[in-house]
Structures are given as structure tokens and as C-alpha cells.
Amino acid sequence: QRPNSGLHPSRSRAHQRPGTQVRSQPVSRNPRVRSILLAAVVIAGSVSGCGAKQTQLLEAAEVAETETGQGVTATEIRVGFIFVDQTKLNSVLGLTSAPTGDIEAQLKALAADVNSRGGIGGRNLVPVLRIYDALVDSAASEEKLCRQFAEDDKVFAVVLLGQFQPTARPCYAALNTVMIDQTLYPVEQQEAEKLAPYFVQPNLPEYGSLLSGLASALSETRFFTATTRLGILGIDTEQNRRAYEEQLLPKLEALQADPVDVQWIDPATNASLQAGQNQAVLSLKSKKVDRVIVIGGSRLLAFFATIAIPQKFFPRYAVTSFDNPEYISNQAPEVLRGAIGVSVAPSVDLKADALEFPFNAGEAKCLKAVEPAGFKFESRANARVIVTYCDAVTLLERAFKGFDGEPLTAELFTQQLATIGPFDSAVNYAAAFEPNSYGGADAYRPIKFDETCSCFTLIGPTKDFER
């Protein structure tokens, strides 16, 4: 019999034991552009195509309502958590990430906290932790991880972190496993509906809404001028094109900021990624583009910098949280001169001292939940992972409140999210779900790049996304 707050016994232990303060370590600023190029080679698989196998998985998926979800018994609900280990990747790239402490101990404390209040739907939360090596990320490895959680661990839901492959989400849906997706991976409404009822992004907005908000922010901050020559740089996927054409482009046309060039990058292989970026630089430069909006996230801007910097192409960029602004700030700040954007998640956009810590009631609640594990986090960067897990657990707890002893299903979870209204997210400025809504981030704040600190700073109040 597993203890109520215990982890799956086969999972690896994280590195640091409780009882000591987790201190922030600044990410090293490596001026060599070649480090980003290496990152592009290593992580390029994160935006690769998934092929016929993915299509077959989706076609085989059965999303009919069942009596109770996998991983749920009369006394337990099993939930998977992915911890992305960047140790090897950071070693290769010469980077240093802020330490997160003993994630296993923190998860035990988080489970004990929710179980002390009656658990999730009257069941004790049993966390299942799996460590994922960022250095070996690929379509195959993410699908393997999916099958381990769904078929070996038999969990009800998985909290996704660092899963950029297009194979991952269809795999979980096909195996009837709920995804609480916390990865900076853009998903627009039509794609989310394909994955329903197994998909939700509580800490991120629907991608079309984000691009619409970005256009508004760019207009308000005078990113566009009468002589602006705008270019679009995007990861070439069906959903990214749809979000651009249906959400962003109409906004740009209304602002009389029609693009003079649109470059879509084929991410299928390292070769196509490299060739696409080379072609994009040549085309954007030839058309004298001086403003660029990046679409699709997946560190495209970081990859593109490896081509743009040597060719002395330095337009002003429009960025969002999906571009991981803090990462590019540390690796190639010269690319970001004059950059403007929108922030939905301060922990991935801003320096630690940009907002007080904790910055809201949700973050304070999550930090308190893991205090029994012996951790006192020095900064938001140290607590980034556990508060993200905490938000996911909070949603499960609230969605299934009042359903003690009743069947817990993916359909019920999705339906109930729309009834909880606004919630205190530990990660976002504001969060809420509505019917037929799969993205929880409900607001953004405009940001700009400040060369004095080589970081993004807030330049405006919180604004709601259009829904």
C-alpha cells in the first residue's frame, strides 16, 4: 500500500534534499552566438513533424465518456508530473539554471497539503514523477514518455512541462489521458477542440487570442509607424497559419500595418529549419523589413538569431511569453534592442526583482503548501516548477470538488473548469475558464526590452484578452 502522499516507488529522486534554502543562480550570459546554434541543433526536434503515426493515433482515439477515468479508484487518483532535467543540456551550452531543489520532496508536500483537505474528488492524490532529459528531446522520446505515463503508470492526468513535440499531445488524447499542459507550446482553439476533452492549458492563453492581444499592445506602444516595413516569421504548422490568418492579420490590416513579407519556417528536420531561416533572413533583408513579429514560439527567435546576427540583420522584434523572453535576453540581448511584447507568465518573461515575491495570493498559497518540505525559496525562479505543479493540482481539486465517491472523468473535468470562474493562479496575472475554453490565462501585460538591465520590464497595466 502506497502512503497517501508518496510518489511512485520507481521514480528517480531529484538532486537536493530539503532543509536548506534554495538560492537563485543567475543564468550565465554567454556572448557566443554558437551556443544558440548548438541549442537549435539539439532542440530543433522540438518542432519537428510527427507524420502518419500521429494521425493514426488520433484516428484511433476513443473520446467517449467512461464510467471513471484511468488512474482513479475509490481512494486514489494518480497524476503524472514531468520534471525537465536540463543538467546535461546546460553543460553542453555552458548555461546555469536557477536550482529548483528537491522536486520529489516538494511534490510529497503538495500532495499532503491537498489530501489534508479531502484530496481530489474525495480521493488521495498520488503523484507519479518522471524525469525527462532535455538533451535527448525528440518526437520519439516524448511519445515514449506519453506511453510510460498512460500504459505503465496508468495515470488519470499528466502535468506537461518541456514537451514541444507535436507527437506528444495526440498521443495522450489517443490514450485517454488528461493533459494539464504547462509547456510554452502554442495551441489555438481549433487544435484544442481536436484534443478535447483531454487537453487544457491553465497557465497559457488560446494562441489566437494571444496574437490578437499582441497586435493591440503593439499599437498602443507605437511599435508601428507610418514608414514601418513589417515582416512575419513563423513556425510553419496548420494551426500557426490559422491563428495568423484568422486572428492576427485582420488586426494588422485594421491598424494599417500590412506585412510586406511573410516567412514560414519548415521545422521537419534540422536541415529544413536551417535552410528556412537562411532564406528568411535574405528575404526580410531584401524587402528592408524593420519590424518582425514571431509566430509559433518553440524558441524560433533564439534559433533565428544564429543566422540574423552574423548577417547584421537587427529589426525590432515583437515577442510573447511563448518566445521565452528571459532565455533570449540571456543568450543574445543584442537581438532584442527595441523589442516590444506581451507577458502572460512573469516567471518566464521577467527578472526576479521585476515583481514582488510572492506577487499574488495564488503564488503565496503554493509556496505555503510546500513549506513542510523544508524549502524557503529565494526567488521566483527557484519556485518556478513547483508553483506550476501547484496550479495544476489546484484546478483538479476545484473541478472535482463535491464529487466525492462519484466517477471522475476527463469529460467532467473539462465541463467543471468552466464553472469555477476566475481563480488565483500562481503563475499568471489573471486566470479564468469559460465554456469551450482551453486556455486559462485571461490577461497580459505589455513589456519592453531595457538595454540597461538586458531584460524585459513592464510598461503598462494588466489587460484582458478578447474572447
> What's the N-to-C CA distance of the chain in angstroms?
46
Determine the Cα–Cα distance for residues 165 and 394; give it in Å rounded to an integer.
26
Q: Cell triple for residue 52?
A: 502518419
- In SS3 terms, the chain reads as CCCCCCCCCCCCCCCCCCCCCECCCCCCCCCCHHHHHHHHHHHHHHHCCCHHHHHHHHHHCCCCCCCCCCCECCCEEEEEEEEEECHHHHHHHCCCCCCCCCHHHHHHHHHHHHHCCCCECCEEEEEEEEEEEHHHCCHHHHHHHHHHHHHHHCCCEEEECCCCCCCHHHHHHHCCCEEEECCCCCCCHHHHHHHCCCEEECCCCCHHHHHHHHHHHHHHCCCCCCCCCEEEEEECCHHHHHHHHHHHHHHHHHCCCCCCEEEEECCCCHHHHHHHHHHHHHHHHHCCCCEEEEECCCCHHHHHHHHHCCCCCCCEEEEEHHHCHHHHHHHCHHHHCCCEEEECCHHHHECHHHCCCCCCHHHHHHHHHCHHHCCCECCHHHHHHHHHHHHHHHHHHHHCCCCCCCCCCHHHHHHHHCCCCECCCCCCCCEECCCCCCECECEEEEEEEECCCCEEEECCCCEECCC
pLDDT at 92: 61
pLDDT at 26: 44
Determine the Cα–Cα distance for residues 285 and 261; give it in Å rounded to an integer.
10
pLDDT at 448: 93
Q: What angle do CA 414, 204, 220 make, to 5 degrees?
A: 130
pLDDT at 111: 97
pLDDT at 467: 61
Residue 309: count other Cβ atoms within 10 Å of its Cβ: 16
pLDDT at 398: 95
pLDDT at 76: 97
Residue 336: phi, psi to the nearest 5?
Answer: -100, 10
Q: What angle do CA 40, 85, 164 make, to 5 degrees?
A: 45
pLDDT at 167: 85
Do 367 and 379 form a contact (C-beta atoms < 8 A)? no
pLDDT, block means (10 residues), the chain with 467 residues: 39 40 46 40 40 47 57 97 80 67 92 96 97 84 95 97 89 97 92 95 91 91 93 92 93 94 85 89 96 89 88 94 85 90 86 83 93 84 91 96 95 92 89 89 92 90 83
pLDDT at 191: 93
Alpha carbon distances (Å) from 428 to 115, 236, 397: 25, 28, 19
Residue 34: count other Cβ atoms within 10 Å of its Cβ: 10
pLDDT at 19: 44
Do 406 and 74 form a contact (C-beta atoms < 8 A)? no
Alpha carbon distances (Å) from 408 to 9, 173, 187, 401: 24, 16, 25, 11
Do 48 and 139 form a contact (C-beta atoms < 8 A)? yes
| Nearest one of 298, 216, 213 to 264, comparing CA atoms | 298
